[in-house]
Amino acid sequence: MLTSKQKTILTDTNAEYFGVSISELMENAGKGIAHEVVKKYGKKKSIGILCGLGNNGGDGFSAARYLVKSGVRDVVVYLVGRNQDLKTTAAEEHWKRLQKESRKKRIEVIQEVFAKDIETHDVYLECLIGTGIKPRGGKLKLTKRFADVVTRMVHKGGKKVAIDVPVPGYKYDLSISMLYPKTKDALVVDIGMPKEVDLYCGPGEVKILEKPKKETYKTQNGKVLLIGGSDTFHGAPLMAAMIAAKLVGNVYFYSTPENIELIGKLRAKLHEFITVSENDIEKYANYADVLLIGPGLEDNLLNRALINKLLEMFPNKPKVLDAYAIAMADKDLIKGSILTPHRGELRHLFGELKSTKGHAIEGRIKRYAKEHGCYIILKGHVDLLFGPDGEFKMNKTGNPGMAKGGTGDVLSGILASFATKNDPWISMCAAIFVNGMAGQLLYKEVGYNYSAGDLIPKVQEVIKWANEFRIK
């Protein structure tokens, strides 16, 4: 379950990525806030708007202008801080618009506010922090300045309106949220967010992934048990292990006893994994945060028995099933698992199909995910993502150069790594976006002429870029 802060970062980041103007959304937010406030309290009220330095404050600047346009004559904006310190481009833009109204003497604006500066009003709008509140020591805490401002508002009387997430200690009479409710009793304002922002994966999913903490050690940064490989497909587990080794604390690798030679080959090419013996596989499956089963694994009775034994023993542990593992897994045991077929591998779920395209097959996959309680990524020109509760998203990153052996193994390694510390759905969206974007970076450099191994350093670049993606 995502927090309000994570949802807002995800939505705002993807909106910016897809070219949606945050400033325009802020304009719509202000209009909607003003409408709800006037509807509730009328025009003949004195309204004080307490604004912080981020986008929540920007919503307050916009709301002030629309309150005046609606006929409210007494509007005072209190900026808790300096306008030079506004944190976003959109907030700066709406501050300038507010200043124009202030020069017309239609709105009073007071900067660098402390608690003592707040006057008595009939209605207070709290636009101080919103979803930017950060927990300290597990609890939400405000700086002394902000805490004093909130206390002053509370003691002043008057009606209290919370805009998005209320700050700690603020007992509101009315809660107004943008896009989706931030409190149980919130009125929700439609700010005109295009449907594409929710429909497609973007850097927002990557940005909200859990980051390594300051004081941590390797086993706290994710542990993946990779089960795969064969004499025929010896490169597949290597691709998955190579990227996973860069994203998690530990990678454990197991291949069936007849593949002892494969272990030697992998050790010669990659040193950042721990070899697991047949006797220890259950122990390491218990250690691992995620089981990645399938890259390079052949379909045989021995592997079928192993896969289904692990699925039965660890029903609540996140699992990524790739390639032939999808065919070998008992479909009664895949609840909570993430399946990553391409269209040719849909036969593992539905048997031979006349067609693997169109809305009919997409409907079947959606029903399958719901019936079996699993997650499915259907890889293709446009990737389709399905969740057990009816979730659906699409991904447009990537290019035809990725239609090569091994690119799906890189994806499975990214996905399993992300899933060690994150919700399966967010992990899916982030992984498929990153894998495709890595391919797009390679296309700019070499066209379609690259291999799966070339994706790995680009994956690292994409993750860094997404984490640094700035919301204007």
Shared domain check, 131 and 276: no
Q: Integer distance in angstroms from the first to the last C-alpha of the chain? A: 26
Task: Name the residue among 321, 429, 442 with its Cα closest to residue 372.
Answer: 321
Shared domain check, 410 and 312: yes
Query: What would the two tokens of residue 222 be?
Result: 């994710």
Shared domain check, 286 and 391: yes
The domain boundary, picked from 192, 222, 250, lies at: 192
**Average pLDDT estimate for 72-98:** 94
The domain boundary, picked from 161, 192, 223, lies at: 192
Shared domain check, 293 and 398: yes
Question: What was the pLDDT predicted at 137?
Answer: 44
CA distance 196 to 193: 8
Residue 454 has pLDDT above 70, yes or no: yes
CA distance 244 to 380: 22
**HEC secondary structure over 24-67:** HHHHHHHHHHHHHHHHHHCCCCEEEEEECCCHHHHHHHHHHHHH
Shared domain check, 296 and 362: yes
Shared domain check, 219 and 180: no
Look up tokens 């509007």; give the residue: 75
CA distance 47 to 74: 6
Q: Would 111 be classed as within a structural domain?
A: yes
Q: What is the pLDDT of residues 127-186, one digit of tens each?
A: 998 765 444 444 556 789 989 999 999 899 899 999 998 988 899 999 999 988 988 999
**Average pLDDT estimate for 80-100:** 94
Q: Would 204 be classed as within a structural domain?
A: no
What distances in angstroms separate CA 97 from CA 36, 63, 373, one per listed residue? 21, 11, 50
CA distance 144 to 152: 12
Shared domain check, 248 and 387: yes
CA distance 371 to 414: 26
CA distance 439 to 50: 46
Q: Is 291 exposed, middle or buried (0-12, 13-18, 19+ CB in 10 A)?
A: buried
β-pairing, 74-79 vs 46-51, is: parallel
Shared domain check, 295 and 263: yes
Residue 84 has pLDDT above 90, yes or no: yes
CA distance 200 to 384: 9
Residue 354 has pLDDT above 70, yes or no: no
Instruction: Give bridge partners of residue 200 from the DSSP assignment.
Output: 394
Residue 232 has pLDDT above 50, yes or no: yes
Average pLDDT of the chain is 91
Residue-range definition of the domain harbouring residue 402: 211-467
Greater confidence (79 vs 215) lies with: 79
Task: Name the residue among 2, 1, 118, 5 with its Cα closest to residue 55.
Answer: 5
Q: Would 198 be classed as within a structural domain?
A: no
For 362-399, b where at least 16 C-beta lie within 10 A, e where not — what string? Answer: eeebbebbeebebbbbbbeeebbbbbbeebebebbbbe
> For the whole model, what pTM was predicted?
0.83
Q: Would 215 be classed as within a structural domain?
A: yes
Shared domain check, 118 and 236: no
Q: The domain spanning residue 342 has which CATH number?
A: 3.40.1190.20
Query: What would the two tokens of residue 445 be?
Result: 């450099």
Residue 266 has pLDDT above 50, yes or no: yes
Shared domain check, 101 and 236: no
Q: Would 69 be classed as within a structural domain?
A: yes
Query: What would the two tokens of residue 373 be?
Result: 């309680």
Q: Would 232 be classed as within a structural domain?
A: yes
Number of domains in the chain: 2
Q: Would 201 be classed as within a structural domain?
A: no
Q: Would 172 be classed as within a structural domain?
A: yes
Shared domain check, 292 and 169: no
β-pairing, 174-178 vs 383-386, is: unpaired
What distances in angstroms separate CA 40 from CA 43, 160, 187, one per listed residue? 9, 12, 11
Look up tokens 């990645």; give the residue: 292
Q: The domain spanning residue 52 has which CATH number?
A: 3.40.50.10260
The domain boundary, picked from 192, 226, 252, lies at: 192
CA distance 402 to 380: 10
What distances in angstroms separate CA 286 from CA 45, 162, 304, 311, one per listed residue? 62, 46, 19, 12
Shared domain check, 265 and 414: yes
Contacts of 339 (CB under 8 A, 6+ apart): 321, 326, 349, 374, 375, 376, 377
Q: Of 27-36, 246-255, 449-458, give the lowest mean pLDDT range.
A: 246-255
Question: What was the pLDDT predicted at 356?
Answer: 64
Q: Of 135-144, 228-237, 384-393, 412-421, give the lowest mean pLDDT range.
A: 135-144
CA distance 238 to 56: 47
Q: What is the pLDDT of residues 180-218, one digit of tens each?
A: 898 899 999 999 999 889 999 999 999 999 998 877 777
